[in-house]
Amino acid sequence: MVSCSSNKLKILALLVLCLGCKQEPEQKAAEADTKPELVMYQPSEMANFMNALYAYNLQLKQQIVNGEMPASIPLDLMKLHSAEMSNGHERTAVWNSFVNVFIESQQSVIDTMSNTQLKERYNTAINNCLACHKTECTGPIPKIKKLLIQ
Task: Determine which residue in the list 75, 95, 119, 148 makes contact with ligand HEC, applying CB under 6 A.
Answer: 95
Distances (CA, A) of 62 to 30, 51, 69, 81, 119: 51, 17, 11, 28, 11
Q: Does 129 bind ligand HEC (CB under 6 A)?
A: yes
Segment interacting with ligand HEC, rule: CB under 6 A, options 24-32, 70-78, 108-116, 125-133: 125-133
Residue 127 three-state SS: helix
Contact 51, 61 (CB under 8 A): no
The rounded distance, in Å, linking the Cα atoms of 87 and 90 is 8
Residue closer to ligand HEC by CB (options 27, 107) is 107
What x-and-dash track marks residues 52-81 binding ligand HEC by CB under 6 A? -xx--x------------------------
Report the chain's terminal Cα–Cα distance, integer Å.
Answer: 25
Distances (CA, A) of 125 to 7, 26, 53, 77, 87: 28, 56, 11, 13, 26
Q: How far is the CB of 147 from ligand HEC (least distance, A)?
A: 6
Segment interacting with ligand HEC, rule: CB under 6 A, options 6-14, 20-28, 64-72, 84-92: 84-92
Chain residues binding ligand HEC by CB under 6 A are: 1-4, 43-44, 46-47, 50-51, 53-54, 57, 85-86, 89, 95, 98-99, 102, 128-129, 132-133, 136-137, 140, 143-144
